[in-house]
Structure 1
Amino acid sequence: MTNSDAIDLASMLCSRLCHDMLSPVGALSNGLELLAEEKDPEMRQRCFELLEQSAQISADKLKFFRLAYGAAGGFGDAVDVSEAKAVVGALASDAKRIAVNWALAEERLPKPAVKVLLNFAHMGIDALVRGGTLDIGAEMRDGGAEIVVRAAGPKVAFDETIGAALEGNLSKQQLSSRTAAAHMLCLLADHAGGGLQYQKSDEALVLGAVLPGA
């Protein structure tokens, strides 16, 4: 990756973060304006509830971005899976009508594996536009990590351009805030000597990763 490519990717990831944070932060701003003008006690209580909800969603999204894009879990080489589970659980709760099932063989996973797991989970949640189940599995084998995420539900939605980015078939013109995370995962998997793949039907999306050098 050239310096220019790295800058483009970082810019797109920042754009994605800003896009996803705009709605809950905007709701906080609107709620504060309403609260300043509202005199009715019942309506003021409702404003406080909406502010609390928006603040929680904002915090959940920031926790996700910290682990999925940033220096996950501080300076160690591995991250406690309880952190990843808490973040995914919060995102699924925000999305509503999504049940999350876990099959994790480890208590801690390497940072690259956590990034892949979280981004896969986020893609799965986005795909379940009408709700459904999200099954997440990960284990260490022969010194590497294997991850599988399955999103199942009615009318699963998935942008094939994101799939192309995961498999390393994304053109430079197709890099956008929507495909940047998938492109990042592809680079991460390639650096680890592994690969990513996906399969999609109307009822399910399956995302898989093998990271030998994670």
Structure 2
Amino acid sequence: MTNEIELEALDLAALLCSRVCHDIISPVGAINNGLEVLDEETSEEMKAFAFDLIRKSARQASAKLQFARLAFGAAGSAGAEIDIGDAEKVARGYMEGEKASFEWTAPRALMPKNQVKLILNLVLMAVAAVPRGGSIKVTIEGEPTKPDVTFHCSGPSARIPVAFEKLIPGAIVDVNIDAHAVQPYYAGLLARSCGMSVAAVLDGADVIITARSSAPAPAAEEAPAEAPAVEAPATETMLADAPEAAAEAAVAETTGQA
């Protein structure tokens, strides 16, 4: 039996910040490299290359920051809802810088923010499931408050992310939590906060990641059975008249014998 241990609030905040910085450092570094090329090179061809690098990297940095704001940030006050279309927009922007192709199928609706954050964190889990690229297909069905979310991840060397079985449920005994591992751990916290369960299975060479509502369906209330109607006054009359009827029958029988 595994023990569930929660990270201290300061440790969790620090690791999530490290995760965001890890995603942003690469495109920001590429922008810096492009600027250095512009400063040092006189060739028009190299300058054109540097400008292209800066534009592409700036778009990636912006997309990753917008994604992180929704996936890890407050994204509104407590109890706020988020348009699932906004989640799709930032997810598509993030995936433009990744190796895998990306498909998103979902109705346009408002959804509780923690469920939206969970879905976006599972996008990162899906990316980790296909490290050499491939395709990721996201399908969201059901009611906005109880969505049925499926990630179909296909690609060479597709695999269930490392320590998924421990990090999602929060069993972090003997698991080193670093900037990479904190993301699935955080996804597990989100899942438990909104009453959802997350699972990952191998389907042939593909990985299927699902998020379902774990709250039991409310039991249907049965209408109480109607008691048979009882006419109390009639019953009382019958009981009250019974001794008199018996006496009259006895008198008649005696008279007849006489």
Asked whether the two chains share a fold, i.e. TM above 0.5, the reply is yes
Q: How does 1:92-111 map to 2 (within 5 A)?
A: 92-96=95-99, 98-111=100-113
> Per the alignment, do residues 149 and 3 of structure 1 end up closer, same or farther by CA in structure 2, a change over 3 Å counting?
closer
1:62 maps to what in 2? 65
Q: Would the alpha carbon gap of residues 168 and 49 (structure 1) be closer, same or farther in structure 2, given more than 3 Å must change?
A: same
Q: What residue ranges of structure 2 are gaps of 5+ in the alignment? A: 216-258
- Matched residue type, 1:46: F
Worse overlay, 4-13 or 62-71:
4-13
Distance 1:167 1:205, change over 3 A: farther
**Is 1:135 aligned to 2:137, yes or no?**
yes
Q: What CA distance in whole angstroms lies between the structure 2 residues aligned with 1:173 and 1:122?
A: 19
Q: More deviation in 160-169 or 42-51?
A: 160-169
Query: Which residue in the other structure is 2:42 paired with?
Result: 39
- Aligned pairs for 1:60-209 (under 5 A) are 60-72=63-75, 74-75=76-77, 77-96=80-99, 98-141=100-143, 143-171=145-173, 173-200=175-202, 203-209=205-211
Distance in 2, Cα, partners of 1:183 & 1:127:
16
Q: Tell whether the 8 Å contact from 1:196 to 1:207 is kept in structure 2 after alignment.
A: yes
Alpha-carbon offset, residue 10 of structure 1: 1.1
Alignment of 1:4-43 (within 5 A): 5-43=8-46
Percent identical pairs in the alignment equals 31
Residue 195 (structure 1) shift: 2.0
Instruction: Label 1:142 to 1:32 Cα distance change in 2 as closer, same or farther (>3 A).
Output: closer
Check the 8 A contact 1:155/1:202 in 2, yes or no.
Answer: no
**Residue identity matched to 1:210:** R
2:66 partner SS: helix
Residues 163 and 33 from structure 1, CA distance in 2 versus in 1: closer, same or farther, beyond 3 angstroms? farther
**Amino acid across the alignment from 1:11:** A
1:50 corresponding residue in structure 2: 53
SS state at 1:94 partner: coil
Matched position secondary structure for 1:137: strand
Distance change (3 Å), C-alpha of 1:62 and 1:206: same
Cα RMSD of the aligned pairs, angstroms, is: 2.5
C-alpha separation between the residues in 2 aligned to 1:116 and 1:150? 16
Provide the TM-score with structure 1 as the length reference. Answer: 0.86
Change in Cα spacing, 1:172 to 1:191, as seen in structure 2 (3 Å) is farther
Q: Which has the larger strand fraction?
A: 1
Structure of greater Rg: 2
The alignment's TM-score, normalised by the length of structure 2, stands at 0.73
| Per-residue deviation, 1:47 | 0.5
Alpha-carbon distance in 2 for matches of 1:2, 1:160: 19
Answer whether contact 2:5 2:170 (CA < 8 A) is retained.
no
